[in-house]
Structure 1
Amino acid sequence: MKMHMNHFENNRESWNELTALHAGSSFYDLEGFKNGKSSLNHIEIEELGDIKGKKILHLQCHFGMDTLSLARLGAEVVGVDISDASIAKAKELASELDIPARFIRSNVYELENVLDETFDIVYTSYGAINWLDDLDKWAKIIRSYLQPIGIFYMVEFHPFIYTLNDDSEISDSYFKSDALESVVEQSYTDQSEISGKKLKHIEWHHSLSEVINSLISNDLKLEFLNEFPYQVYDCFPNLTACGQGKWMNEKYGNKVPHMYSIKARKSHTITL
């Protein structure tokens, strides 16, 4: 299952369109961020621990708020995204706020053509891996950018959530392999229309076992897998608030997983 270039180009153009809309939305609260508010959630802050002085590679960083939030915590951070508009906005924010972070416009799978260094931590979060088709290649790239015994950390929406339809019924298979095409007319941030345009998104569904096995097979040793009975973003249908910055599915509540996180460490040697 290999991603065709037109899929990447299609998604790149879609995210170029969405960047300005997202930057101006209350969902991202860019003004609050400019005034010092962190865009990171309690989960990644607690699980990453002290990152002061650490070199971090942030894959699929969108327009850089999380990257810059990591830098505000004292890390030396490089953010990467496929969207030209997102990277331009990220660089603008870094300059405006005088935050020393670097940003690179690149497809994750082609990153080795433009970035040649290693990091203490490779980081990715929320709504990222669904834009990638080949997780074995993804894990190989992660390993290649980690320093000896470096850490990979991710926090993501749980794949179970994507089996639910708008009525909270299980309508889709958990085990999908084909590319999923959808036409998007509204942003998930505030349901605002996308300038009268219809954007096509191509995504891939990855089961938890696929994610974990891709890391294990590339000699990344799991230190933990955590699952969470709530969302930290109100961006799925039929969610209800269950605490500060927490939402659950109205029908299932805490009976189903909503998110997961993984921490893995690079092995000293790769198994042949």
Structure 2
Amino acid sequence: MVDYLRINQANWDARVPVHLDSDFYDVAGFKAGGSALRPFELAEVGDVAGRSLAHLQCHLGLDTLSWARLGAEVTGLDFSGAAIEQARSIAAECGLPARFVTADVYDAPRALGETYDIVYTGVGALVWLPDLTRWAEAVAALLNPGGFLYLAEFHPFTNVLDDDTGATVIRDYFDRTPQVWDYPYSYTGSQTLEHRTSVQFEHGLGDVVSAIAAAGLRLEFLHEHDHTLFRRFTDLVEADGGYRRPDGAPRIPLMYSLRASAR
């Protein structure tokens, strides 16, 4: 296998200054009191006040700190030291208590050294991990008895469709070959990245659920959503703070979310 970890760390370190300046992340809006969380996440996770929460693959920490604003005792983990440095800076500027740790997600139990009521992860996180079994085992090791994993992700079905209209199947849903991308931009805009190569891994919905079950977690729900966070296909229209197929058009799953509890 290619050295995905080294390649992706360089790529994500390069994304940090680009994302900080982007409208997509709207760091200024967050510092002014905004939240990076989506309404369906808030409804599905529920009250977090006084609960310990670990956010895996936290990037700039905006989601992490959004949970802190709701009263959670938060820890964020990411493999990009540049991102963690910025997360700490944003937390300090906003006066939000938070712990941020630089580590690979597979090393999270050792790196964090404690357990939590909630492990939160997403969006767009799993595509960077080659082994979901190891990931789910790390999640299970981080949970207190009765605690739960909450995952919100882009639906893997969208990746088999053409990138324009999403009307035609052009890729193999069951292909698990690592995908090496050479692309000069991030998803936030047109600033050129210093390190443009990345390695990604496709996982089907069954892969995710099976890994979670094998790690001993009990699935509470799996929800498929007909909306997403950006205009994934050209025919998507803005609605309720996201994007979905226009009225009357056949709907497809664009995102999913699940919750699984430790026994």
TM-score (norm 2): 0.94
The aligned amino acid for 2:171 is D
2:192 corresponds in structure 1 to 194
2:241 corresponds in structure 1 to 245
Compared with structure 1, are the counterparts of its residues 119 and 252 closer, same or farther at alpha carbon in structure 2 (3 Å cutoff)?
farther
1:177 corresponds in structure 2 to 176
The aligned amino acid for 1:189 is T
Alpha-carbon separation, structure 2, partners of 1:251 and 1:11: 39
Q: CA deviation at 1:252?
A: 9.4
The aligned amino acid for 1:244 is D
Per the alignment, in what secondary structure is the counterpart of residue 74 of structure 1?
coil
Per the alignment, in what secondary structure is the counterpart of residue 114 of structure 1?
helix
Q: CA deviation at 1:236?
A: 2.3
Alpha-carbon separation, structure 2, partners of 1:66 and 1:60: 10
Alpha-carbon separation, structure 1, partners of 2:247 and 2:45: 32
Alpha carbons 2:231, 2:243 under 8 Å: kept: no
Which residues in structure 2 correspond to 1:2-13 (within 5 Å)?
A: 6-13=3-10
1:32 corresponds in structure 2 to 29
Alpha-carbon separation, structure 1, partners of 2:129 and 2:235: 26
> Which of these residues, 45, 48, 52, is aligned with residue 49 of structure 2?
52
The alignment status of 1:17 with 2:14, answered yes or no, reads yes
The share of aligned pairs that are identical, in percent, is 38
For the aligned residues, what is the CA RMSD? 1.7
The alignment status of 1:109 with 2:87, answered yes or no, reads no
Alpha-carbon separation, structure 1, partners of 2:248 and 2:137: 36
Compared with structure 1, are the counterparts of its residues 50 and 128 closer, same or farther at alpha carbon in structure 2 (3 Å cutoff)?
same
The aligned amino acid for 1:218 is A
The aligned amino acid for 2:232 is F
The aligned amino acid for 2:191 is E
Q: CA deviation at 1:238?
A: 1.8
The aligned amino acid for 1:143 is A
> Any gaps of 5 or more consecutive residues in structure 1?
268-272
The alignment status of 1:221 with 2:204, answered yes or no, reads no
Alpha carbons 2:18, 2:191 under 8 Å: kept: no
Q: CA deviation at 1:111?
A: 2.2
Alpha-carbon separation, structure 2, partners of 1:112 and 1:261: 23
Q: CA deviation at 1:125?
A: 1.2
Alpha-carbon separation, structure 2, partners of 1:22 and 1:215: 31
TM-score (norm 1): 0.91
Residues 102-159 of structure 1, C-alpha deviation per residue, up to 9 Å, x if partnerless? 1000111122332211100011011000000111111111000100111111000000
> Any gaps of 5 or more consecutive residues in structure 2?
none
Alpha-carbon separation, structure 2, partners of 1:198 and 1:51: 37
The aligned amino acid for 1:173 is D
Q: CA deviation at 1:193?
A: 2.8
Alpha carbons 2:163, 2:233 under 8 Å: kept: yes
Q: CA deviation at 1:208?
A: 0.4
Alpha carbons 2:60, 2:87 under 8 Å: kept: yes
Q: CA deviation at 1:251?
A: 11
Q: CA deviation at 1:240?
A: 2.6
Tell me which stretches of 4 or more aligned residues in structure 1 moved more than 6 Å: none
Alpha-carbon separation, structure 1, partners of 2:155 and 2:163: 16
> Which of these residues, 97, 100, 104, is aligned with residue 97 of structure 2?
100
